[in-house]
Structure 1
Amino acid sequence: MKQPLKNDPVECTGNLLAMRDTLEILGGKWKLLILHYLISREKEVNTFKKIQREILGISAKVLTKELKDLEANQLIVREEMPGKPKTVEYSISEYGRSSKEIINYLVEWGKNHRKHLLQA
């Protein structure tokens, strides 16, 4: 771990490390969109194909990687359903729900930013 500078407040370094961790887990083009999708559709059955169809522009390869990353960080749950053909369902985990407030804030900020740019 990198040592803080002598004139750097400890809380600043700690906050920067926490922000780095957050961005590593939630960063990128798709992860927050996937989380938002699953939170918004908690009462629905969310299969891989459905998620890929409804999140426009995401490829199967990228969706697979992002779902694996989100599952590894315990933000989503992957459940294989019995039967042929094999079906896999995805849902938000209890821990993943903790991102809801952050996501809602980002949505509101994005709406306000669009308004700001249109007024400029």
Structure 2
Amino acid sequence: MKKISEMESIRECSSNYILAVNDTINVIHGKWKAAIISSLLFGKKRYGELQKEIPKITPRMLSKELRDLEANGMVVRTVHDTIPVTVEYELTQSGYAFQHVLDVMLEWGLEHRKRIIGSTK
């Protein structure tokens, strides 16, 4: 994580702030990446386990999103020399560090849902 003074200087410059936010969005853009990362926060998973845990994701989309997350350094893919071949996915250090972002998203989502549902009554 960045030092507090460095974070304060980034917050004072809109272009640096926007750049950092865009970097984050570029890594997790799409409907499924946050769900995949969330699932992998609970430990290594095989492809089939991920597919069962994430409702409505197609096999093609899961494969694409896993490749993207791997390319962005969020997920590592391990192929075990077994018969049949076993492939496991797990989060990298950056992937686990992303839990802080997901926790904030969780809090915001719960509060937002409460406000919206409360305001429609």
Structure 1 length normalisation: TM-score? 0.84
| Cα displacement (A) at 1:38 | 0.4
What secondary structure sits across from 1:28 in the alignment? coil
Gaps of 5+ in 1: 1-9
Structure 2 counterpart of 1:32, from 6, 31, 34: 34
What root-mean-square deviation, in Å, do the aligned CA atoms of Structure 1 and Structure 2 show?
1.3
The count of aligned residue pairs is 108
Q: After superposition, what is the alpha-carbon deviation per residue over 1:26-61, rounded to whole angstroms, capped at 9, x for unaligned?
A: 11101111111101x22xx41001101110011111
Matches within 5 A, 1:90-101: 90-101=89-100
| Cα displacement (A) at 1:86 | 1.1
- Structure with greater helix share of residues: 2
What secondary structure sits across from 1:95 in the alignment? helix
Aligned to 1:7: none
| Cα displacement (A) at 1:82 | 1.5
| Cα displacement (A) at 1:20 | 1.5
| Cα displacement (A) at 1:17 | 1.7
* Counterpart AA for 2:24: T
Deviates further, 17-26 or 63-72: 17-26
| Cα displacement (A) at 1:78 | 0.6
Q: After superposition, what is the alpha-carbon deviation per residue over 1:61-116, rounded to whole angstroms, capped at 9, x for unaligned?
A: 11111101111111111100121111100111122111011001101111111111
Which 4+ stretches in 1 moved above 6 angstroms?
none
What secondary structure sits across from 1:68 in the alignment? helix
Identity %, equivalent residues:
34
Aligned to 1:49: 48
The 1-side partners of 2:94 and 2:17 are apart by 21
